[in-house]
Structure 1
Amino acid sequence: MAADARPAPLELRLGYLLKHAQAKLARASAEALAPYGIDGHELAVLVVLSGEEPLSQAEAAGRLGVDRTTMVSLVDGLEDHGLVTRRRSPQDRRKNIVELTPAGEQCLREAEQARRAAERRFLAPLDEGQAEGLVRALQALLADGKP
């Protein structure tokens, strides 16, 4: 290897930076959500279920990009904590409709507020324009809809 072709330090590699930034944000989010007894995956389920129309487990799983088995486990946990209810669809008895309970709606409001505050703290080293630019840049990188 030529002397001028040394590998860049890890701190200059995009993959390294994204991985560690995501891990730092995940830790901050987990700490923020702990008082509500949910994690980031469960919060995402509550967000998806908070839409205007009721969703089946399968529809919610599709919107979240998780398999049905994972969705069943997530809904089971949320149901055990009284945050969602599950009922058979009157139109298709093969489908389970999942909806937020009043406790689930309150948990969603409070946990989302805590998550947003943790995100603001995470982005605090950036000024507002830089933070917005980072979010827009990441949205552009993910615009094809593929994870």
Structure 2
Amino acid sequence: MARDDLGALAARLGRRLIAMEQPILARHGVSMWAYVVLNGLAGGEVRTQAALATSIGADKTRLIPVLDDLQDRGLITREPDPGDRRARLLGLTGSGRELHRAVQAEIRDAEDRLMAELPASDRDAFLRTLSALAG
């Protein structure tokens, strides 16, 4: 049986997910990259800008305007690293954590509606497989 390449299938799913998430992000006044940053910092540990850029797959120079905006809005903190004054440590503020939780809850609800298109027996297997392949 012929099928599309995995890249083509993943790209179509990616476009569908982005289209689903854009209105949610717009309602909360955050860009996709801003949400990616909030998500990357949501684990709670303080991280350097360079480590964050690596973990989310972003060019650290292009990340700076996103960080500036989030800091100006009081959603993240960015302080000099006491161990390396050239580096900056990042963290979520209470407002940043609250915004992240609200956006993530709406995105997860939308994902649940999308996943409802699959038979219940396939949902967990899909998520496990996707996590393994993306890992």
Please tell me the TM-score bracket, short chain as reference: 0.7 to 0.9
- Confirm whether residue 24 of structure 1 aligns to residue 16 of structure 2: yes
Query: Is the CA contact 2:45–2:91 (under 8 Å) kept in the aligned structure 1?
Result: no
- Structure 2 unmatched ranges of 5 or more: none
Provide the residue aligned with 1:81 in structure 2.
73
Provide the residue aligned with 2:28 in structure 1.
36
Provide the residue aligned with 1:48 in structure 2.
40
Structure-2 separation of matches of 1:32 and 1:128: 25
State the aligned residue count.
133
Query: Is the CA contact 1:61–1:71 (under 8 Å) kept in the aligned structure 2?
Result: yes
Query: Is the CA contact 1:29–1:119 (under 8 Å) kept in the aligned structure 2?
Result: no
Match of 1:95, SS state, is: strand
- 1:1-147 equivalent positions in 2, closer than 5 A: 12-14=3-5, 15-143=7-135
What percentage of residue pairs aligned between the two structures are identical? 32
- 1:35-81 deviation line (CA, Å, top 9, x unaligned): 11113322221122122321111111121121211221221221232
TM (norm. structure 2) is 0.86
TM (norm. structure 1) is 0.80
Match of 2:23, SS state, is: helix
Q: CA RMSD in A?
A: 1.8
- Structure 1 unmatched ranges of 5 or more: 1-7
